[in-house]
Amino acid sequence: MEGRIQGRSDPGLSPKGDDQRLALLGHLKERPLSAIYTSTLQRSILTAQPLAQHLNLSIRRQPELDEIAFGILEGEYFFQFNEVGRAEWERFKEDRFTYRIPQAENYSDVAIRVKPFAERILQVHQNEEILIVGHRVVNQILIGMLLGCPWDKVLKLQQTNDCIYLIERNGETRVFHTLNGEMKEGFLLLQKEGYLSKM
């Protein structure tokens, strides 16, 4: 709500976030979920709680799912960087996989910590449906790994706070996204003119 970079900072949910977690409950309460995974950050855990309580499932908190660390930019207002902050952000945007903002992670660091988790859930939850409540960058990397996407496509992948991805891996892998209560096949990709559903 304040336009701050959150990263590893740990605020709770806004009133809109409270509404969205109840919407998640309404959308998924009939799904045959066998497990719910979240990060260790409050906003992820709180989002999953109503659904976990409804389904009588424990929340499995995984530090591998914590959002990317933004180092010296954590908590800064996104549109009010000082000169140093703006320069760091621009350098990071040019190469998110190799450049590190001081005291932060880059996308490669996130991929290294997410990969064992991705491999584990594919092994442990064969033929099961699970829910993962993560964060924007972690979700991009995780979805890319599960679908074998090239990194240039991963960077275009969008996930607004009210977007749910469904990935099917039984037989041919397919992906769907739900936005505003409507499910469409494909990724939610950001184009110059706005969001676009596309494989």
pTM: 0.90
Residue 54 to residue 57: CA distance in whole angstroms: 8
| Residue 154: alpha-carbon gap to chain centroid | 12
Query: Residue 190: its pLDDT value, please?
Result: 55
Residue 173 to residue 98: CA distance in whole angstroms: 29
What is the pLDDT confidence band of residue 79, given thresholds at 50, 70 and 90? confident
pLDDT in tens, 109-149: 999 999 999 999 999 999 999 999 999 999 999 999 998 88
Answer whether residue 154 shows pLDDT above 90: no
What is the pLDDT confidence band of residue 171, given thresholds at 50, 70 and 90? low
Question: String of b and e for 128-152 (b: at least 16 CB within 10 Å)?
Answer: eeebbbbbebbbbbbbbbbbebeee
| Residue 64: alpha-carbon gap to chain centroid | 12
Answer whether residue 185 shows pLDDT above 90: no
Phi, psi of 121 (to 5 degrees): -70, -30
Query: Residue 178: its pLDDT value, please?
Result: 85
Each domain of the chain, given as residue ranges in start order, spans: 15-198
Mean pLDDT, residues 94-122 taken together: 97
CATH architecture, domain defined by 15-198: 3-Layer(aba) Sandwich (3.40)
Residue 135 to residue 43: CA distance in whole angstroms: 9
